[in-house]
Amino acid sequence: MPVAAARPIVLTATERHRLKKAAFGHKTPHQARVRAQIVLLAARGRSNAHTAVEAGVHVDTVRTWRGRFADLGLPSLVDRKRPGRPASFTVLQTAQVKALACQLPNEAGAPLARWSCPELAREAVARRIARALSASTVRRWLDQDAIKPWQHRSWIFITDPDFRPKAERVLDLYARTWRGRPLGEDEYVVSADEKTSIQARCRCHPTLAPGQARAMRVNHTYGRGGALAYLAAYDVHHAKVFGRTAPRTGINPFMALTAQVMSQEPYASAKQVFWIVDNGSSHRGKKAVDRLAAAFPNAVLVHTPVHASWLNQVEIFFSVVQRKVVSPNDFTDLAQVVDRLRAWIATTPRHSRSSGSSPPPTWTICWPGSTGTPPITQKNPPSPRQLDQPPKDFRPTTKGSCQNAGCLRARVMQ
């Protein structure tokens, strides 16, 4: 029986360019690459047998794709649509499950806080949307529209009626402007706040260092060693941070922080020092404004809008402290927490957020009970080992050893 002659292939310049790109592209799928090579070889006048040898496929494969290209061109090199198995669920059923996922569970009568794929599948069957439905099918349907009912994000209404003028006042201070006039060289902007409840958690087993393909491991079980508050004041335009620790927050610790800053130069003799604070109980309302003005006549307390403490730049500093100093929390007692804070502030270089150059920043931190001693102020500070030790009368607010009977580390530390 005579063999049918090979179909002649004639390529245009555009087709040749696209076929070469597919045949030699690094990201081309293997099947598309083989089909493009078959057509290119056939366009050179090669026989089907010769083309099959060079492409590494069966001669029937060459005959198939050569004939399809001769009939329909480039669009014929993709797979044809196959009927496959009939759909098990209708479009209406898919839409009903997606609509159910977009409802709150309590609105649907389910005693849940959030939907999960297995729960959605059970609810769909209970509502007779489908006779049987798997969680993987629900997950695939939701993924088509990026619906993730098991996740949630919190948000808050800004209820302060004077949000705009208060926010503008704070942002103007960051831009060195106050009531429409630029600030002078003897006027300063300080951002202050408290970081509450820094705990000393004595892990019952030592933390394991990271290794190859292994993250650092921190034991989950811990003993409570008390908690303290860290108060900080950040000079926005000169990259200075003043901090102190206290057993708890309140009016007296905050006023001690202001005294720590305002008793030093250049703030003591400055024309005005603007203190940007949120609406915490330690410095809330007009009483706090009058209290600070009575203690330091050149100090002006400026509040952020209610529920807008994120406008306070010292929150950025507290975020760095949380990520770099406190977490993961593994301290034997509160004295070790304060040691870590002092050593980090004394040895970590920082840069000003203002434009232009500025002198090296000065970092200051006070111990609890050290009000009678002048604060430690250093430029280019020494290593942590050269820093003075905490006062002898300093004690944590609670017992600083692990209370777990099986805590071996606490016994070693004692």
Q: What is the pLDDT of residues 364-375, one digit of tens each?
A: 434 444 433 333
Decide: 190 and 257 in contact? Cβ < 8 Å. Answer: no
Predicted local confidence at residue 261, as pLDDT: 94
Q: How confident is the model at residue 80 (pLDDT cuts 50, 70, 90)?
A: confident
Predicted local confidence at residue 182, as pLDDT: 93
Q: What are the two backbone dihedrals, phi and then psi, of residue 222, each rounded to the nearest 5 degrees? A: -145, 160
Decide: 361 and 239 in contact? Cβ < 8 Å. Answer: yes
Q: Is the pLDDT of residue 169 over 70?
A: yes
Alpha-carbon gap, residue 311 to 303, rounded angstroms: 10
- Residue found by looking up tokens 């301290």 in the block: 331
Q: Is the pLDDT of residue 340 over 80?
A: yes
Here the tokens at position 295 are 């203690």
Predicted local confidence at residue 413, as pLDDT: 43
What region, left, alpha or beta, does residue 63 occupy, with left being phi > 0 and alpha being psi -120 to 50 degrees?
alpha
What percent of the chain has pLDDT above 70? Answer: 83
- Residue found by looking up tokens 């293997």 in the block: 30
Here the tokens at position 195 are 């970081």
Q: How confident is the model at residue 81 (pLDDT cuts 50, 70, 90)?
A: confident
Q: How confident is the model at residue 390 (pLDDT cuts 50, 70, 90)?
A: very low
